[in-house]
Structure 1
C-alpha cells in the first residue's frame, strides 16, 4: 500500500537543516522525499510536526522478552524502530545445551527469565532464526557476546585463556559473525568476561577487525580507574585496528569528578591519532544493571550456582563484605561510588521480596533489621541473583558535556523487568525535550542525527537511519514543542508525550490505524534473509 505523509517538517537524519515537505512510501520503502505530489492510497497529515527516521537504540536488553512479546512497547512508544541486542558480553547466544541451566541464572538479572522459552537454539544463527519465526515488532540486530563465546570455549571458571582457548574462541566468533552478528560485545565487569586479560581481548578484537565489526565495550572501570581502563581499551584499538565503541559512556562517582577532563583528553587524543572511537549514552545521572554487580568478581567465578553457595557460606560472605567496604584495585565498586542510599532495587523474581522494589539498600536493611549490605546479600541469595537495581552515579554537567561530543549517539540501555529505570520508556524523548528544547545542548537536527543516521553509520545498518528514496520506511512523527519523557525513578513506567506516530518498514505500529502484525526485520550484517511466514 502507498502512503503519503504531508505537512511535514522533515529532519532527514543527516544533520541537514529541517525543511517542509512530504514523504511517499510504497510498501516497505521510501519512494520520494520533499516536494511530493503523487497520489497515495493513504494520506497522513503530520500537522506541521517533525518527521524523521526511526530511532536506533544501540544498547538494548530486549533479547529475551522479544522472543515472547514481539512488540516492545516502551521502546516503540518513544520512537525506537531498531534495537541492537547482545550487549555487555552476556546474552542469549551462542548457548550450548549443556550450559543452559547455569547461563539462564547468570542472565536473569539483565534479561529476565522464562520457563516457556525453548532455549535449545545453540548459536547466534539459531537464535536469530527463532526470532524470525516468532516475529518482531521492530528491527533487531545482534552483537556477538564475548561471555557466551568464552563460556562455549572455556566454561564459566575464573582462569586465563590458553593459546588453544584463544584459537577456539576465535573460531566461534567467526562462526557467529558469519551468521550476521553486527559486532563483538563485552562487559568487563560481568562474569565470565571479567576474567579476560588484555591478551584475550586483543585476540578477539583481531578477529572483529578482520570482519570490519566493532568492539562494543562496557569497560573494566567507569569509576576510580577509568583512565587506566580507557588506556587499555584504546591500546587494543591501536594494536588491532578494531573500531572501539564504548557502551553507556560516563564517569561514575562524584568523587571522580576530577577525572572528567582527563577522560575527555583521552578521547581527543584518540581522535588526533585517527583511531575510530565512538560511544553511546543514556541521558540520566543514574544507571541500571543487576544487583550482583556490587559483588567482587571472584564471588561469581563458576557461575550462579557457585555464587549462591558462597552467599550461603559465612566465611565467603565475610570476605565479600570486606572487599566491598575496602575495595579491590581495578574493580568498579558500585557501593563506593553510589552509596547504599544511591542504590535502589528495581526487580526481583519472587513475591516474597516484592516489598524491596523501589527501596534503597539502606531502607531494605532497616526493613530486615540488619545492615544494608548484609540485607542485599540475603536478597541475592533468596532471589538466586535475579535482582535488578538503579544506581545514582554522576553529575548533570557531565551528562551534557558527553552528549555534545562528536563520538556520541543515543541509547536506552533499558532493562524491561520489574520497576525499570525511566530510560526504558523515555531516553530518546528526554534528549529532544530536556536537552534540546530546554537546555539547548545541541540543535534538533543534530539530536535527530545522533539518534538515527549516526548509529546506522556506526553499526553499518544499511538502508536505515536517513529519510531518502530506497531506504526502509522507519519513520517517527513528533511534536517538538511537547516531546518529553514522563517517567521518574519512583514511577518510571510512563510513556512519553509528543511521539505522535511510529512506522516500521512502512507499517504504522503506534499512532493512527496501527497494524497488529509484527512488521520488524531480523537484521543480519552481510546476509539477506527472508522473513519466516
Structure 2
C-alpha cells in the first residue's frame, strides 16, 4: 500500500491562476513551512485542509506603493491588505516613515485622533511631537507601546509582535530631515546637517531599508535642494538601493509660489537618479503636461505618450527607471468618505465634526478657512494647483438625492456659489 504524505496545509479544488499568463487550471496545493511543497492532484493529506471549490487560488499581490508601514505597528494583522489579496507591500513612501523618531515624532494620518489632546491644550495640532509625549497617547488609543526610535527598532517591533503581510520599506527622507532640522526646515540644508541626515540613512540602510524615498511635494522634502539629495543618494548607491520619489508636481503650495511645469519635476527625478547612478522608482506617475479641459481623451493620450517618451529617453541612456500609477484621475486625496476629510486637522482642533460645523457659522473663521484654501495652504483642496479639482469631486452619498453623482462644481453653480464656499 502506498504511504500517504502528511502536509501542514492543503488547498483543494481551487481554480489556479499562477500569474505566468497560462490558462486557469484546477488542482491541489500543499504547503509546508510556509512554502508550497507540492502542486497537483495526488494522495496527500494535511493537518489543515481548505476546500477552495469555486474560488481562485493565486499568488499574493504586491502593493508597490503603500503607506501601510505607518499603521502596521497598530493594526498588526493588516486585514485591509489581506482582504484585497495583498501579501507584500512596499512602504516608507513619499518621504514618510515611522522611523527615525528619536528627536521628533512626525505627524502621520493614522495617529491623528491621538492629537486631539494637543488640540485641546494648545488649540492647534503640532507638526512635530516629542516621542515621550506621543507614547502614552498611542498606548491609550491603540494599546501598543511606541518604543522604537530608529529603523532597526521599527523592524524589530514588527518582527516581535508579528504582522499579517510582508513589508519592504524605504528610508523616508522627510522623517530623517525632520530629526535634523526640526521646525527650521524651510531652507536647503548645510553640509553638517546633511552629514547628520546621512547617519540616519546609513542606520536605516544597514537595518534593511531598500533605498530612500523623497516627497518633493511635501514638507520638509520640498525644501531639499539637489546638493542635499545627491549626497544622500551616494549612500543609497553604496548599498545598492533604490531612489523612490513623489516627484515635484507642484512644489511649495502657497499664494506666492511660482507655478512650475510638471514635466520639470519628472526630469528632476530622472536627472538626480542618472547623476547618482541609482535605480529610480517614479511614484504615481501622471502626465507631465497640464491639459484643459482635462477630459479631452485625444490630448490625454498625447500628453501621456510625450511623458513616457521622456522617461524612455533616459532608459536609452542607461538609467534603470520604473514607475507606478494611480488608476484613477483624482489621485488618492478626493477618494474620501465625506467632504470634511480634507479638513480633518481643523475638525480635531475644533474638538469634533459638529464643533467644526458650528465654527463655520463664524464669519471670520469661515473667511480665514476659505483664504487658506484659495491660497494653497490646505494640501488636499488646492485650486491654485488643480483648477479642476471641483469638477472631479463627485458626490456618491448625500441626504439630498438631487446631488447624487454630481460634481461639486455643478452643484455649486446651481446654488450660485463658488466651489470653495459650497
Structure 1, residues 23-56: CA drift from partner, whole Å, max 9, x if none? 1112422112345542223332322433111122
Distance 1:72 1:394 in 2: 36
Q: 1:210 to 1:44 in 2, by over 3 A?
A: same
Q: Partner of 1:286: helix, strand, or coil?
A: coil
Structure 1 unpaired stretches of 5+: 291-341, 380-384, 396-420, 423-487, 492-533
Q: Is the 8 A contact 1:288 1:391 kept in 2?
A: no
Decide which of 226, 230, 240 is 2:266's aligned counterpart. Answer: 230
1:247 counterpart = 2:253: no
- Which of 71, 84, 99 is the matching residue for 1:65? 71
Alignment partner for residue 375 of structure 1, among 362, 369, 373? Answer: 369
Q: Does 1:143 align with 2:140?
A: no
Matched, 1:203 2:208: no
Could you say if the C-alpha distance between residues 195 and 391 of structure 1 is closer, same or farther in structure 2, counting changes exceeding 3 Å? closer
- For residue 321 of structure 1, what is the aligned residue in structure 2? none
TM-score, normalization by structure 2: 0.67
In the alignment, what sits opposite 2:28?
22
Match in the other structure for 2:241 = 213
* Greater RCO (Cα-Cα under 8 Å, separation 6 or more): 1
CA contact (8 A) 2:111 2:138 kept: no
The equivalent of 1:287 in structure 2 is: 331
Note closer, same or farther for the CA distance 1:212–1:377 as it changes in structure 2 (3 Å cut): farther
Cα distance change, pair 219–154 in 1 and its aligned pair in 2 (3 A)? same
Aligned counterparts of 1:162 and 1:87: Cα–Cα separation in 2? 24
- Contact 1:61 / 1:86 at 8 angstroms: preserved in 2? yes
CA contact (8 A) 2:79 2:164 kept: no
C-alpha separation between the residues in 2 aligned to 1:224 and 1:21? 55
CA RMSD of aligned residues (A): 3.9
CA distance, structure 2, for counterparts of residue 238 and residue 51 of structure 1? 41
Q: 2:93 aligns with which of 67, 80, 87?
A: 87
Matched, 1:122 2:116: no
Partner of 1:152: 179
What count of residue pairs does the alignment treat as equivalent? 334
For the 8 Å contact 1:189–1:219, the answer to whether it is kept is yes
Matching of residues 386-401 of structure 1 within 5 Å: 389=380
How has the CA–CA distance of structure 1 residues 111 and 267 changed in structure 2, closer, same or farther, with 3 Å as cutoff? farther
Q: Does the 8 Å CA contact 1:188/1:218 hold for their aligned counterparts? A: yes
Q: How does 1:152-191 map to 2 (within 5 A)?
A: 152-157=179-184, 158-191=186-219
Paired with 1:373 and 1:88, the residues of 2 have a C-alpha distance of 32
Q: Is the 8 A contact 1:251 1:394 kept in 2?
A: no
Distance in 1 (CA, whole Å) between partners of 2:360 and 2:305 is 39
Are the aligned partners of 2:138 and 2:146 in contact in 1 as well (CA < 8 Å)? no
User: Is it true that 1:11 corresponds to 2:17 in the alignment?
Assistant: yes
Deviation at 1:19, TM superposition (A): 3.3
In structure 1, distance between residues paired with 2:23 and 2:319? 29
Q: Displacement, 1:93?
A: 0.6
Larger radius of gyration: 2
Shift of 1:124: 0.5
3-state secondary structure, aligned to 2:199: helix
C-alpha distance in 1, partners of 2:199/2:326?
34
**Contact 1:343 / 1:390 at 8 angstroms: preserved in 2?**
no
Q: Distance in 2 between matches of 1:219 and 1:111?
A: 25
Once residues 194 and 344 of structure 1 are traced to their aligned partners in structure 2, the CA distance between those partners, rounded to angstroms, is 23
Report if aligned partners of 1:368, 1:375 keep a CA contact under 8 Å in 2: no
Match of 1:96 in 2: 102
Structure 2: give runs of 5+ residues left out of the alignment: 1-6, 115-136, 140-144, 251-258, 295-299, 399-422
- Separation in 1 of the partners of 2:28 and 2:111? 40
Deviations 1:101-142 (A, max 9, x none): xx3xxx244763541344452201112222233332222332
Q: Work out whether residues 214 and 221 of structure 2, in 8 Å CA contact, stay in contact via their aligned partners in 1.
A: yes
Q: Is the 8 A contact 1:344 1:390 kept in 2?
A: no
CA gap 1:203/1:44 in 2 versus in 1, 3 angstroms: same
Q: Residue 316 of structure 2 corresponds to which residue in structure 1? A: 272
